[in-house]
Amino acid sequence: MKILISLKTGVSGSAKIWKGVLIIWLCSLLLVGMVAIPMKGALKSGFGNSMITEKLKEGINVEALADLGTNLKSMISYFSKGLFMVLIIGFLMNTFFSGGLFDSLKGSAGKFSAAEFFKSSAKNFWSFFVISLIISLIIIALVILVFVIPVSIVGQAKVPPEGAIFKTGIISTSLFLLFLVVLLLVADYARAWQVVNLKNKCFRAIGFGFSQTFRTFFSSYPLMIVLLIVQFLFGWLVLSILSVIKPATGAGILMLFILSQLLFFIKILLKAWRYGSVTKMMELNFQVDVRSPR
């Protein structure tokens, strides 16, 4: 029952804060544009008016790219730096806006207010940053312990059994995904708890996240599984749709851009749904006083 109530509340909550989702989408578009627009200019400068673009319509053409000469190296360097900048700024931006999303989705939140959204984002930024950083480091350590080390040990064997590396990879990946669900719950519960507290207490929030996750494991874990499956299926649908579309005209490219942005907007809505569902689950488990974890 708690799972269904949480999912339903998460859906209604994410729908109510669509303006906040729109703000995040717009900022994300501007961030990508900071790299994409200069990159387009660099490509145009490198390709010029040659027929190379015709060769690239059907996919990557090694000979065509080789004709770029020194321009290719500079474009790769520019793209790498741009991608690194997008990842770093994207991480900070996601951390910033998460505070506004969680605050807008809590039970006491009323009508969406852009002013309160940005205020909550700023108020919770450093606490959310520490929470996100620590959970990210734990995930990286988990990848090394559960996946990299076992696969490396099997791969370095003098005569590894047939299919041993593949089987080890499957088992390691499965274990990683099982533990990843727990860590995502810890992060979401920690952030949900933090927004209802007046002071930033990131380490206490993480402690609450772990205790809440394991204390309510049999309701929280299935909830997160459902949310992640929906997000995975949506991601698979997006890739399936975009991979088969090959626009040949300017209008087609414009329609593809609009479609991709609409799908990205829905992706952010699904994230808000997850935040709202986890927040509601926390509120159901701590109806007396969510500020006093037991």
Tokens of 167: 């089987």
Task: Quote the CA–CA distance of 125 and 114 in Å, as a whole number.
Answer: 16
Q: Nearest to residue 210, comparing CAs of 225, 238, 190?
A: 190
Look up tokens 């506004």; give the residue.
Answer: 100
pLDDT at 108: 61
Please tell me the predicted confidence (pLDDT) of residue 66: 53
Place of tokens 């991480």: 91
Give the model confidence (pLDDT) of 138-154 as tens digits.
999 999 999 889 888 88
Predicted pLDDT of residue 46: 55
pLDDT at 289: 40
- What confidence score (pLDDT) does residue 244 get? 82
CA angle 114, 118, 123 (to 5 degrees): 145
Q: Distance between CA atoms of 266 and 269, rounded to whole angstroms?
A: 5
Task: Extract the residue ranges of the chain whose pLDDT is less than 50.
Answer: 51-53, 55-56, 59-62, 288-294
pLDDT of residue 45: 62
Cα–Cα distance measured from residue 274 to residue 188, given in angstroms and rounded to the nearest whole number = 9
Find, among 186, 278, 292, 260, the residue nearest to 28 by Cα: 260
Task: Say how far apart CA 161 and CA 168 lie, in whole Å.
Answer: 11
| pLDDT tens, position by position, 56-105 | 455 444 455 555 555 566 667 767 777 788 889 999 999 999 999 999 99
pLDDT of residue 13: 92
Can you give the pLDDT at residue 290? 44
How many CA atoms lie within 13 Å of 46's alpha carbon, on the beta-carbon side? 22
